[in-house]
């Protein structure tokens, strides 16, 4: 229950940004909420199940395009988001049945390949997708402040739904099965876990809300193109956010995304030329020194280790 309260407090803090912050701060809050939803999504396949997926950009980009094309065809905005969610979920289930036959590095490389294939297909299929020129999406009425507040509410809502699904999965039979698969897939199979089916469910869950987020993002921005929608950086940053907080935990993706986005802001503001290099260094440090993420640190030992503190007798 404590986890739910921490999350609720954080969601409220993000929701309160328009009360004190500039439009820049509100936009940052929207991006934090959206990325938290993406990181929580990745957690289903990358955290609980232990499959290093780089397919986040596939689902996000497909959501952008499914939503944008629906809206351009005259579908109402919320319905377009729903269509995007369903399209992405169906796509993920079909894709999962194929790529989840791969394991470890092979699965990672396979999922990266899908990002590139999707980007090229959308770029080349100009007659349907607008190709490299991108697509305009009908804009929401109202000034930038109104639009930012509307999408702040939408993304916080999406983040909350993803979090609640995470909580439910964590305690359910599904979550138990995914953890078995993560720790020893062959043994899971041997004790009666239908590993293929559960992996496809996890992969679909990891896609679902990325599709919604993509469609909402397209409506918010009013313009999408293949390079931004299917950016490989999306596929890299989102897992890093999840790992930074603690993969396979409920609160990890939330903490990790917040920490990552705030660090990124600091780096952007202060090291304009080197921010990507710093991002790379953060990833390396993370892998070597924080395999369990921020939530995996034994904080009591860390505090005891700090200089100037009396050492705790073992």
Partner 1 sequence: MSATILVADRLSHRFGGIQAVNDVSFGLQEGEIVGLIGPNGAGKTTLVNLMTGVHRPQAGRIRFGGVDVTAQRPFEAARRGLARTFQIVQPFPRMSVVENVAAAALFGGARAGVADALGEARAQLDFAGLAGFADRPAASLTLAGRKRLELAKSLAMSPKVLMLDEVNAGLNASEIDGALDLIRRIAARGITILIIEHLMKVVLSLADRVLVLHHGQLIAQGSAAEIVKDERVIEAYLGRKFAQRSKAETSRESAEQSGG
**Which CB, 188 or 202, lies closer to partner 1?**
188
- Reading the block at residue 65, the tokens are 């395009």
**Of 58 and 200, which CB lies nearer to partner 1 in the complex structure?**
200
Least CB distance to partner 1 at residue 28 (A): 36
CA distance 70 to 138: 11
Beta carbon nearer to partner 1, 101 or 276: 101
Pick from 78, 173, 262, 303 the residue near partner 1 by CB under 8 A: 173
Toward partner 1, which CB reaches closer, 103 or 171? 171
Minimal distance, residue 175 CB to partner 1, in Å: 9
Q: Does 250 bind partner 1 (CB under 8 A)?
A: no
Q: One symbol per residue from 177 to 196: x for binding partner 1 (CB under 8 A), - otherwise; what is it?
A: x-xx--xx-xxxxxxxxxx-
CA angle 68, 82, 63 (to 5 degrees): 45
Please tell me whether residue 100 binds partner 1 under the rule CB under 8 A: no
Helix (H) or strand (E) holding 266: helix 252-270
CA–CA gap between residue 86 and residue 154 (Å, rounded): 18
Q: Is 176 in the site for partner 1 (CB under 8 A)?
A: yes
- 3-class SS of residue 112: helix
Q: How far is the CB of 196 from partner 1 (least distance, A)?
A: 9
CB of 298 to partner 1, least distance (A): 15
Q: Does 218 bind partner 1 (CB under 8 A)?
A: no
Q: How many residues does the chain have?
A: 314
Stretch that binds partner 1, among 85-93, 138-146, 168-176, 227-235 (CB under 8 A): 168-176
User: 114-147 burial by CB neighbour count: b if 16+ within 10 A, else e?
Assistant: bbeebbeebbeeeeebbeeebbebeeeeeeeeeb
Rounded distance between C-alpha atoms, residue 153 and residue 213, angstroms: 13
Name which of 150 and 189 has its Cβ closer to partner 1: 189
Q: CA–CA separation, 310 vs 160, rounded Å?
A: 41
Q: Contact at 8 Å (CB) between 242 and 253?
A: yes
Minimum CB–partner distance for residue 52 and partner 1 (Å): 17
Under rule CB under 8 A, residue 146 binds partner 1: no
> Judged by CB, which is closer to partner 1: 194, or 298?
194
Contacts of 222 (CB under 8 A, 6+ apart): 136, 137, 138, 139
CA distance 63 to 248: 25
Q: How far is the CB of 126 from partner 1 (least distance, A)?
A: 45
Residue 247 interacts with partner 1 (CB under 8 A): yes or no: no
Footprint of partner 1 (CB under 8 A): 171-173, 176-177, 179-180, 183-184, 186-195
């Amino acid at each position: 229950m404590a986890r739910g309260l921490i999350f609720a407090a954080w969601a409220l803090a993000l929701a309160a940004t328009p009360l004190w912050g500039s439009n820049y701060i509100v936009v940052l809050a929207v991006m934090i909420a959206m990325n938290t939803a993406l990181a929580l999504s990745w957690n289903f396949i990358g955290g609980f199940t232990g499959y290093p997926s780089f397919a986040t950009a596939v689902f996000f980009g497909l959501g952008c395009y499914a939503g944008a094309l629906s809206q351009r065809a005259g579908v109402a905005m919320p319905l377009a988001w729903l269509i995007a969610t369903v399209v992405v979920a169906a796509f993920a289930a079909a894709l999962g049945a194929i790529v989840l036959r791969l394991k470890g590095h092979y699965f990672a490389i396979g999922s990266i390949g899908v990002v590139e294939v999707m980007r090229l297909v959308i770029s080349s299929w100009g007659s349907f997708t607008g190709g490299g020129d991108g697509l305009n999406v009908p804009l929401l009425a109202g000034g930038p402040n109104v639009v930012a507040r509307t999408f702040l509410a939408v993304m916080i809502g999406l983040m909350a739904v993803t979090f609640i699904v995470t909580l439910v999965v964590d305690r359910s039979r599904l979550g138990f099965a995914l953890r078995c698969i993560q720790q020893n897939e062959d043994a899971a199979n041997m004790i009666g876990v239908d590993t293929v089916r559960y992996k496809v469910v996890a992969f679909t869950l990891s896609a679902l809300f990325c599709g919604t987020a993509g469609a909402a993002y397209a409506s918010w921005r009013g313009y999408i193109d293949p390079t931004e929608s299917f950016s490989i950086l999306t596929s890299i940053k989102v897992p890093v956010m999840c790992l930074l907080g603690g993969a396979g935990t409920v609160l990890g993706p939330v903490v990790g995304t917040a920490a990552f986005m705030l660090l990124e802001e600091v780096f952007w503001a202060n090291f304009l030329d080197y921010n990507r290099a710093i991002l790379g260094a953060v990833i390396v440090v993370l892998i070597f020194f924080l395999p369990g993420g921020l939530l995996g640190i034994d904080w009591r030992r860390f505090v005891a280790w700090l200089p100037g503190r009396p050492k705790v007798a073992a």
